[in-house]
Amino acid sequence: MNADPTTSQDTVPPAVDPLHGQPHQIVERDGVRYTLLGTAHISQASIDAVRAAIDSGAYDTVAVELDAGRLQSLSDPDALARMDIVKVLRDGKTHLFAANLALAAYQRRLAEQLGVEPGAELKAAVSEARARDLPVHLIDREVGLTFRRAMQRLGWWGRAKTGAGILLAMVGDEEIGEDDIEKLKGGDVLESSFGEFAAHSPALYESVIAERDRYMAANLRDAGQGARHVLAVVGAGHLPGLARHLREDGTPPQAVRSELEAVQERKRFPWFTLALSVFVVGGFAWGFWQGGLDVGSDLVVQWVLATGLLGALGCAIAGGHPLSILAAFIASPLTPLHPALASGTISALVEATLRKPTYADFMALRDDVQTVKGWWRNGVARVLLNFFLTSLGTAIGVWTGGLRMLGRLVG
């Protein structure tokens, strides 16, 4: 296997080399020549270089640092409007949906600030290749899968910080900092979007950057089957790792994908939920046994009011429908005792069912989440607010009700 990376300037006169001046590496493996073109996701020069390379006719296959979802968002801005928000809630993907909103908001701010749509060179690569009837391979890992693998590596505090950062990214309207712009010149929009956390977290860096290098190299090997010269358009920051894995990794591509797509299900026993359930139910039983009907019923009422009223209050602050508020009140005393249920999910489901977000809500979402008022005006954003604020109110109610019950039991 010959895998000696080189630059095309060594073999082709600069005057006719479409990659002249652009970061790139060439790897030869198993009789296939892979040209890895490193791009900046905010550069017109990268867009021109991609088009020139494909138009040169030197390549019989094109691979792009995209997954199907990101390509759809680049090619079809209206795709978001066809999303079923109720299904998102039922499938437990609310946090993932919020992360995608944060990424979309970040990209929009970049486009407005710099005048270039992030990822335009990747979109151009797909368009040019299809215009020439060349096979196109999307080699990146799905964004949601990358996010889930990153989150599973973090502790609760890391997940809390990342969640707060996602919320700030959705509502923030400040200019993108110079450091983030420099990262984009290096060419990875995911690293830049979550760069504040990845820079200080080896776990996030591993999932967001390093794993994807190996994943894309495996997909490139599959893309090279039956090809002679493959052009891979990737962010410049991926060039070293991608070239190394393409040269050296001997693991079958399918095995690599299986390893890097696996998401461990939480196997930890829900000790906190169990302890809370024992405490609450045991407290009720003790109250009825020691104090009779009056004390027992009083403990039940205190718990229901503390959790139910604060959960309902969170839903009301989010602008929830009266029936959504009622659902929050009913669910909040019960869901803390069940490891797989959340009061925010139930109230948000009722909200989305009764006031299903419209096409206009989805189309205006990116603009509306940039302002405080927009979160309450937009149907999609209001459902998300319902989920987060109801859950927050219930959590506060659990501690409030629990402390009151403890004081009553030991008093």
- Give SS3 for 40: coil
In a domain, 348, yes or no: yes
**329 and 245 share a domain?**
no
**240 and 102 share a domain?**
yes
The pLDDT > 70 percentage for the chain reads 74
Cα 231 to Cα 51, 62, 203, 224, 375: the distances in Å are 11, 5, 30, 10, 43
Is the pLDDT score of 79 beyond 80?
no
**47 and 159 share a domain?**
yes
**139 and 28 share a domain?**
yes
Q: Which helix (H) or strand (E) holds 38?
A: strand 32-39
In a domain, 390, yes or no: yes
**352 and 218 share a domain?**
no
**pLDDT band for position 209 (cuts 50, 70, 90):** confident
Is the pLDDT score of 169 beyond 60?
no
The CA distance from 280 to 291, in Å, is 16
The CA distance from 36 to 186, in Å, is 14
Residue ending a domain, choose from 243, 261, 279: 261
Which tokens belong to 349? 């489901």
Q: What is the pLDDT of residues 42-66, one digit of tens each?
A: 678 888 999 999 999 999 999 999 9
In a domain, 207, yes or no: yes
Stronger pLDDT, 71 or 62, i.e. the higher one? 62
Lowest mean per-residue pLDDT among 61-70, 158-167, 189-198, 402-411:
189-198
Is the pLDDT score of 144 beyond 90?
no
Full strand arrangement of the beta sheet holding 24-29: 24-29, 32-39, 229-235, 61-64, 136-138
Q: For the residues 118-122, what does the mean pLDDT come to?
A: 83
Is the pLDDT score of 151 beyond 90?
no
**346 and 209 share a domain?**
no
Cα 272 to Cα 200, 233, 399: the distances in Å are 29, 47, 13
pTM over 0.85: no
The CA distance from 202 to 210, in Å, is 10
**317 and 287 share a domain?**
yes
Residue ending a domain, choose from 205, 234, 261: 261
Q: What is the pLDDT of residues 267-320, one digit of tens each?
A: 566 778 888 899 999 999 998 998 889 888 999 999 999 999 999 999 999 999
Stronger pLDDT, 20 or 114, i.e. the higher one? 20
Cα 407 to Cα 2, 289, 403: the distances in Å are 74, 17, 6
**47 and 140 share a domain?**
yes
**112 and 13 share a domain?**
yes
**pLDDT band for position 77 (cuts 50, 70, 90):** low
The CA distance from 335 to 340, in Å, is 8
Residues 6+ apart with CB under 8 A from 398: 276, 306, 307, 336
**195 and 286 share a domain?**
no
Question: Chain-wide mean pLDDT for the chain?
Answer: 81
**pLDDT band for position 11 (cuts 50, 70, 90):** very low
In a domain, 319, yes or no: yes
Q: How many domains does the chain have?
A: 2
By residue range, what is the domain housing residue 397?
271-410
The CA distance from 277 to 348, in Å, is 24
Lowest mean per-residue pLDDT among 5-9, 48-52, 316-320, 352-356:
5-9
Is the pLDDT score of 14 beyond 60?
no
Which tokens belong to 128? 């040019």
Residue 10: predicted pLDDT: 42
Residue 198: predicted pLDDT: 47
**233 and 310 share a domain?**
no
Stronger pLDDT, 255 or 151, i.e. the higher one? 255
Residue 9: predicted pLDDT: 39
Task: Tell how strand 229-235 and strand 32-39 pair up.
Answer: parallel
Which range is most confident: 5-19, 153-167, 178-192, 296-310? Answer: 296-310
